[in-house]
A and B are shown apart, each in its own frame.
Chain A
Amino acid sequence: MLNYIETGRIKIDKTILNNNRVAYHDPCNYGRKSEKLFGYGYYKEPRLVLDYCVPNWVDLYPSKDNQFCCGGGGGSLTTGYNKERIYYGRKKIEQFKASKADLIVTPCHSCHGQFNNIKKEYKIEYLKIKYLWEIVADAIISKN
């Protein structure tokens, strides 16, 4: 995806998210787990994609290999232990609030599902959740 943008195969309109404050969440499997299993954590690449697509984005704190898990990973969205999963998510809510973001971007189905699920529980429904590839797709300038 980064390659498509850098080589000009897709053209991006960077003004789409002009009015949003965006924060990026590192999924465990892109970061710590990838680093452990394959020797490389994907921290840099998604941030470069954000640089191309978003005028105003910030990191959550802490971030990268110290990032807090969404709380929905490892199958926990499907174990039925929902009370426990929602409680787990409290750390993310603290991070989101501190970042003052109104849009969270992440490239993971589990994180995406968990955030959409817990935002109701913690009464922060204003928060939008998007996939990394979603903000790229939204910003594409059509070739025709």
Chain B
Amino acid sequence: MNNNNEIIDISNLDSILFKSFSFFHNFCITCGLCSSTCPASGIEEFDPRKIVRLVSLGLEDEAVQSKWPWVCTMCGKCENLCPMGVDITGIIRKIRGLREKNKIPGILQNGLEAAIKTGNNLSLPKEDFIYILEDVANEIKEEKGFEDFEVPIDKKGANILLTIHNKLVNTHTEDLKHWFKIFYAANESWTISSENWEGTNWAYFTGDDDSMKILCGRIIEQMKRLEIKSLLWPE
């Protein structure tokens, strides 16, 4: 993170400075198991132990403005090995959540805002969504053994509600077919909601708990609206 050898002021080091955490992380024994197992170690001098040190030392701004939390995939291999039980992926996600919204890298924040505003990351209107689903259903009908396949939309009282990853109604419509065919073959009673069908939740990635709650809550709302007890959320 400090490629230009700029000097960081360490005169006020104090773990309490990292106020955004409700507990300290200065029990890390700096053994380095996390760094050794992390496939992202070495990317721009990142390794998980350094992040834990930043937090332990109270260097909140340095951690938040760094690229490091975003090259980590929060896969949890590090904390799985940690002998002290440091919640490393929790730390990473928390740091991500402290980044100013307009400085979140890539398309994450745009997608998330679209989802909050329109119900899906693509801002895809309801009629277009239904058109795509029915188009794919018609393709399945052409396959032997699936001639009377129908895609059930907003079916009240179905057993299972299926959420949809936005890429499946965008560039990967072929991949919609697999679950459709399994349900059909199993004679399952299932449905897709015409509203708030988005299965991805990019607030999980940006560390934005409020938005994450809104998106999860909307799926529960659909289950209530359609009187459905089980959810298949492959995302």
Contact = CB atoms under 8 A, between A and B. Distances in A.
Interface residues of B, number: 44
Given A68-B39, A109-B234, A140-B181, A73 B73 contact: yes
A115 to B, nearest CB: 14
Given A79-B108, A142-B145, A84 B73 contact: no
Interface in A32-68: 32-33, 36, 65-66, 68
B75 interface: yes
A133 B77 CA distance: 26
B7 interface: no
B40 A84 contact: yes
A81 B76 contact: no
Contact of B39 (A65, A71, A75, A80): A71
B167 interface: yes
Contacts of A85: 71
A123 interface: no
B80 A65 contact: yes
Interface stretch (B12-20, B53-61, B125-133, B172-180): B172-180
B185 A142 contact: yes
Given A75-B205, A79-B108, A144-B147, A133 B178 contact: yes
Interface of B: 39-40, 43-44, 67, 70-77, 79-80, 89, 105-108, 111, 144-147, 165, 167, 175, 177-179, 181-182, 185-188, 200, 202, 204-206, 234-235
- 8 smallest CB-CB distances across A and B, nearest first, come from A142-B145, A75-B205, A69-B75, A74-B73, A80-B106, A137-B178, A79-B106, A74-B74
Interface of A: 1, 4, 9-11, 28, 32-33, 36, 65-66, 68-76, 78-81, 84-85, 87-88, 90-91, 107, 109, 113, 131, 133-134, 136-138, 140, 142-144
